[in-house]
């Protein structure tokens, strides 16, 4: 059987927008096309494409960011591109449910489509893997955000302002009566709904669920048919027992169960038992980057908000933020392979961790981009830290490779003028100035 090319599985109905257009224009397009995400076209020579998501919009709305501002004034995720002529095995190493998607380009480097992790998995046909395994065996997330139907819409969607919580179950006292998801939020924004109204006016109802004994194959088909991002799972009595997102489902299926399916059913039952006993470990995994072992972006966002709240509430000494990105990382992957690329990221994180305080927060923002929070640290001190980290990373040696370097952006949170988003954007822009000014250097945020 011939391996399909990327153009055979890519989604062609891409919605895109220039970074010079307003956030509100992006909302209008997403609402019109019924999409949760939109591709952002940038003038940045290092990263031409980005992804603006419903979760980003929620965070901006909660932070009272003016939607008339241009998209380039906020921080959004950068995504890579791949040739439409590339084969499926080429992309399997590039994309994961963390990266989520890649832009697809033609020979002239024009955007022709986008390929999501789910598209790749669907093309492999999961029926051969786990037709008989039940969805209840792999549920990890039993902690659903909840709200009462009388609460205001803005309060409820505010519960979804970071990556760990992107849906809320709506209750009438103790009975679940509806759900609000990121897709619903796009509808609310697109229709200019009054967010002071009770969430009962806008929630999706009835709640569509699957039974815990539904097969994984059926669950994947259900997600694809309904275009859902998650499954709400119930027991035989109709009681909600948890949820599993599309990314969690796919990751669990392909990273764990594909090998275990060859084992005896007893082994699977024992593993399930062990997973339940070690529930706290999975809670830790939810905030940990699986490749590097440091915190993930969701955890960083939580910690950044806590640090901002601490500084504003107690008037204590402010903090600084570092962004750094591995220079020419795609060349490392292309020339030495993704296994070596992963090793480089792991070594950098180990090295940086050893040079940071216990109170500092180091996290992977995405791809080869990292971020750190330095509590009670002035801009000058943070610059010194960044220079030391830059020099130390540049001194690392990898067999058969040139020296590795990173570009750093450094900024201090301003209590009077900064917000969650503005400090991120300022430091991110400083990092890209470091790249534009020759890489392997530190730039201070304006």
DSSP state of 218: H
d(CA 361, CA 174): 38
Report residue 111 as tokens. Answer: 């955007």
The pLDDT of residue 275 is 53
- Whether residues 178 and 265 fall in one domain: yes
Dmax over Cα atoms in the chain, in whole Å?
65
> Which of 248, 368, 369, 443 is labelled catalytic?
368
- Residues 113 and 134 both lie in one domain: no
Indicate the pTM of the whole model.
0.60
- How far, in whole angstroms, is CA 187 from its chain's centroid? 21
Query: What pLDDT is stored for residue 118 in this prediction?
Result: 63
Cα 107 to Cα 431: distance, rounded to the nearest angstrom? 30
> pLDDT tens, position by position, for the chain (446 residues)?
456 788 888 888 889 999 999 999 999 999 998 888 899 998 877 778 989 988 889 888 877 889 999 999 888 888 888 888 887 766 655 555 455 678 889 888 889 988 876 666 656 544 444 554 566 655 655 567 889 999 999 999 888 865 556 788 899 988 889 899 888 899 999 999 999 999 999 998 888 888 877 877 787 788 778 877 778 888 777 778 777 777 667 666 655 444 544 444 555 566 556 555 554 555 555 678 888 989 988 889 889 999 999 898 888 889 999 999 999 998 898 888 888 999 999 999 999 999 999 899 999 998 899 999 999 999 999 999 999 999 999 999 988 888 999 999 999 999 988 888 889 999 999 999 999 999 999 999 98
Phi, psi of 86 (to 5 degrees): -65, 150
Cβ(203)–Cβ(184) below 8 Å: yes
Q: Which two tokens stand for residue 194?
A: 């009054």
Report d(CA 98, CA 363) in Å as an integer: 14
Q: What per-residue confidence (pLDDT) applies to 334?
A: 86
Final residue in a domain of this structure, among 80, 105, 124: 124
| Residue 303 bears catalytic tag | no
* CATH for 106: 3.10.580.10
Tokens at residue 7, please? 């153009």
> Can you read off the two tokens belonging to residue 136?
């209840």
Total domains present in the chain = 3
Terminal-residue alpha carbon distance, the chain? 55
In terms of residue numbers, what domain contains 151? 128-285
Residue in 151, 119, 348, 340 with CA at minimum distance from that of residue 250: 119
Residue 268 shares a structural domain with residue 305: no
* Residue 209 in domain: yes
The beta strands (E) that lie in 27-118 are given as 37-41, 49-53, 77-79, 81-83, 101-105, 111-116
Cβ neighbors of 388 (< 8 A, separation 6 or more) are 355
């Amino acid at each position: 059987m011939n391996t399909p090319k990327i153009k055979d599985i890519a989604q062609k109905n891409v919605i895109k927008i220039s970074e010079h257009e307003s956030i509100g224009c992006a909302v209008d397009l997403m609402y019109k096309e019924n999409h949760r995400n939109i591709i952002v076209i940038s003038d940045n020579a290092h990263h031409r494409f980005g992804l603006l998501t419903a979760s980003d919009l929620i965070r901006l709305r909660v932070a009272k960011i003016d939607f008339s501002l241009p998209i380039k004034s906020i921080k959004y995720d950068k995504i890579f591109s791949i040739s439409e002529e590339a084969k499926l095995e080429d992309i399997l190493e590039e994309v994961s449910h963390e990266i989520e998607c890649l832009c697809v380009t033609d020979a002239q480097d024009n955007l022709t489509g986008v390929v999501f992790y789910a598209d790749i998995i669907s093309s492999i046909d999961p029926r051969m893997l786990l037709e008989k395994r039940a969805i209840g065996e792999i549920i990890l997330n039993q902690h659903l955000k909840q709200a009462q139907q009388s609460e205001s819409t803005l309060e409820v969607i505010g519960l979804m302002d970071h990556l760990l919580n992107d849906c809320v179950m709506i209750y009438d006292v103790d009975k679940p009566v509806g759900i609000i998801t990121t897709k619903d939020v796009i509808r609310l924004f697109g229709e200019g709904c009054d967010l002071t109204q009770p969430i009962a006016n806008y929630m999706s109802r009835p709640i569509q669920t699957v039974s815990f004994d539904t097969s994984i194959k059926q669950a994947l088909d259900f997600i694809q048919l309904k275009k859902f991002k998650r499954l709400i799972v119930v027991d035989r009595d109709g009681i909600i027992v948890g949820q599993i997102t599309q990314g969690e489902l796919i990751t669990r299926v392909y990273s764990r169960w594909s090998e275990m399916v060859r084992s005896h059913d007893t082994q699977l039952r024992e593993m399930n038992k062990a997973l339940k006993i070690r529930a706290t470990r999975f809670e830790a995994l939810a905030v940990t980057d699986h490749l590097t072992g440091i915190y993930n972006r969701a955890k960083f966002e939580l910690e950044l908000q806590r640090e901002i709240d601490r500084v504003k509430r107690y008037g204590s000494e402010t903090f600084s933020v570092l962004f750094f990105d591995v220079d020419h990382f795609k060349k490392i992957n292309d020339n030495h392979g993704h296994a070596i690329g992963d090793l480089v990221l792991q070594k950098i994180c180990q090295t940086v961790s050893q040079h940071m305080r216990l109170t500092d927060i180091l996290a992977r923002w995405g791809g080869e981009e990292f971020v750190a929070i330095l509590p009670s640290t002035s801009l000058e001190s943070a610059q010194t830290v960044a220079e030391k980290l830059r020099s130390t990373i540049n001194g690392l040696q990898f067999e058969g490779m040139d020296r590795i370097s990173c570009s750093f952006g450094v900024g201090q949170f301003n209590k009077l003028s900064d917000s969650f988003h503005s400090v991120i954007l300022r430091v991110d822009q400083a990092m890209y100035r470091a790249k534009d000014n020759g890489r392997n250097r530190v730039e201070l945020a304006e």
